[in-house]
């Protein structure tokens, strides 16, 4: 399939070859033919590809439509209106100073704290004695290599000095468990979603002029509340389990989801398992400082007869967690543009998520209540540490193993 960018590039290539052998009128007519073949937006595309004014391409279209004959008069080479940046040699530099005042040395730019639209830029340049239109500003920006771009989330904040070393440690633990045939899962809470007739990012195919109607404001529905998806991603099996909660995102909810996965899937998939490795973020309901998380996991280790090892990613690196790009990103793609009208709809959309590589997802609704504010005292956590938690030599706060310890006397 030929993309718009490919077509524009081809028009630009043809123009470079034909322009030297065509006169002014022939160039206009050729551009008009190319614009017609391109369809909607063709005039703008051809003007951009050839560097001609839109009015020139439009004039060529009008000449084709009217059937006007050749008058035999051809303008001599170099004649005609000069480009604005040729007449006003300072125009391009003035525009760049407005667009990028920090690097172009104009800290007093009138647009320093305003949106830099082509209309604002045109007005600012005109006010400084450079006569130009919005279209001219757009062309000059394009010629200078500027494009409309959104901000890119790439700055991760302050990095822990052992960040990379912890990544290597987690990777070693994953390899060790996989080579021994032991299960490895990645866990996390997906972004909470409003349930009801609310706009969801993205679009979907619908009859023209008949968009899905949603509420104008995103005030939570007191009856429907929010959907809280907590996921378990089995790395080796490329499969996911998601419990959709309706109460609170707590450590008890997180471990209840892991327990459901183990009882329904994990125990059958790994019948000889003696260990379970969990990779998780440093914060949230499964954070390394959350006492209830460790308490609930110790109970699960005792129930399942497993040695459960947890390796947390360093603070500020949650996007490196496998579940983010192996499961959650595909769920978001699957329901883009869909209205999450009920918790059942959320569950069905999650369960319908598949990929070309074979990802399968099980989803279910968790109706249980998970109250916030459950406290684990200093004494309780000390006793748990002494009975059931073994901290690893490397960053024991991030890496630890919970074993099936005997019950308290």
CA geometry: angle 73, 76, 80, nearest 5 deg? 95
The pLDDT confidence band at residue 103, using thresholds 50, 70 and 90, is: very low
Per residue in 392-403, pLDDT (tens digit) is: 999 999 999 999
Rounded to whole angstroms, the Cα distance separating 120 from 122 reads 5
The pLDDT confidence band at residue 157, using thresholds 50, 70 and 90, is: low
Give the helix ranges, DSSP H, for 190-278: 251-261, 267-269
Q: How much of the chain, in percent, has pLDDT values that exceed 70? A: 90
For the chain, the average pLDDT equals: 88
The pair of structure tokens assigned to 272 is: 């000889």
Per residue in 311-351, pLDDT (tens digit) is: 999 998 888 899 999 999 999 999 988 899 999 999 999 99
pLDDT above 80: residue 205: no
For the chain, how long is the longest CA-to-CA vector?
Answer: 108
Check residue 368 and give its pLDDT: 96
The residue with tokens 């969990």 is 278
Check residue 171 and give its pLDDT: 94
Check residue 112 and give its pLDDT: 45
For residue 267, the 8-state DSSP code is H
More confident position, 82 or 11 = 11
**Residue 379, helix vs strand vs coil:** helix
The pLDDT confidence band at residue 219, using thresholds 50, 70 and 90, is: confident
Q: How much of the chain, in percent, has pLDDT values that exceed 90? A: 58
The residue with tokens 């468990």 is 177
The pLDDT confidence band at residue 104, using thresholds 50, 70 and 90, is: very low
The pLDDT confidence band at residue 385, using thresholds 50, 70 and 90, is: very high
Which whole number is the average pLDDT over 20-38? 90
The pair of structure tokens assigned to 291 is: 């006492």
Rounded to whole angstroms, the Cα distance separating 54 from 87 reads 19
CB atoms within 10 A of CB 103: 9
Which whole number is the average pLDDT over 227-232? 97
Rounded to whole angstroms, the Cα distance separating 131 from 82 reads 14
**Listed range (42-51, 58-67, 92-101, 298-307) with the worst mean pLDDT:** 92-101
Check residue 384 and give its pLDDT: 95
Is pTM beyond 0.75? Reply is: no
Write the CA distances from 35 to 8, 249, 280, integer angstroms.
Answer: 10, 56, 54
Rounded to whole angstroms, the Cα distance separating 178 from 244 reads 28
């Amino acid at each position: 399939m030929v993309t718009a960018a490919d077509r524009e590039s081809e028009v630009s290539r043809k123009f470079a070859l034909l322009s030297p052998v065509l006169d002014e009128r022939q160039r206009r007519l050729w551009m008009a033919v190319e614009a017609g073949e391109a369809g909607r937006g063709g005039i703008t595309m051809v003007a951009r590809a050839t560097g001609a004014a839109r009015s020139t391409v439009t004039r060529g279209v009008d000449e084709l439509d009217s059937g006007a004959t050749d008058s035999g008069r051809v303008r001599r080479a170099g004649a005609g209106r000069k480009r604005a940046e040729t007449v006003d040699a300072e125009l391009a530099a003035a525009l760049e100073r407005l667009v990028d005042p920090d690097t172009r040395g104009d800290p007093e730019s009138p647009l320093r704290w305003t949106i830099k639209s082509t209309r604002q830029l045109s007005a600012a340049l005109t006010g400084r004695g450079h006569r130009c239109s919005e279209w001219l500003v757009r062309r000059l920006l394009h010629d200078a290599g500027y494009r409309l771009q959104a901000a890119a989330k790439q700055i991760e904040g302050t990095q822990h000095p052992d960040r990379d070393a912890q990544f290597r440690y987690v990777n070693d633990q994953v390899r060790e468990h996989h080579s021994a045939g032991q299960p490895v899962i990645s866990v996390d809470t997906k972004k909470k979603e409003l349930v009801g007739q609310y706009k969801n990012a993205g679009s979907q195919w619908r009859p023209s002029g008949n968009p899905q109607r949603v509420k104008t404001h995103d005030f939570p529905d007191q009856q429907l509340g929010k959907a809280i998806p907590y996921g378990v991603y089995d790395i080796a099996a490329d499969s996911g389990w998601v419990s959709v909660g309706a109460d609170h995102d707590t450590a008890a909810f997180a471990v209840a989801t892991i327990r459901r996965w183990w009882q329904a899937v994990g125990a059958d998939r790994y019948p000889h398992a003696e260990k379970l490795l969990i990779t998780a973020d440093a914060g949230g309901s499964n954070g390394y400082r959350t006492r209830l998380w460790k308490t609930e996991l110790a109970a699960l280790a005792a129930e399942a007869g497993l040695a459960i090892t947890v390796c947390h990613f360093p603070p500020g690196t949650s996007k490196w967690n496998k579940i983010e790009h192996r499961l959650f990103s595909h769920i978001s793609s699957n329901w883009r543009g869909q209205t999450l009208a009920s918790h059942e709809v959320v569950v069905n959309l999650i369960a319908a998520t598949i990929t070309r590589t074979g990802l399968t997802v099980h989803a279910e609704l968790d109706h249980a209540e998970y109250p916030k504010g459950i406290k684990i005292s200093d004494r309780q956590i000390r006793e748990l540490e002494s009975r059931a938690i073994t901290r690893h030599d490397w960053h024991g706060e991030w890496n630890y193993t919970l074993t099936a310890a005997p019950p308290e006397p």
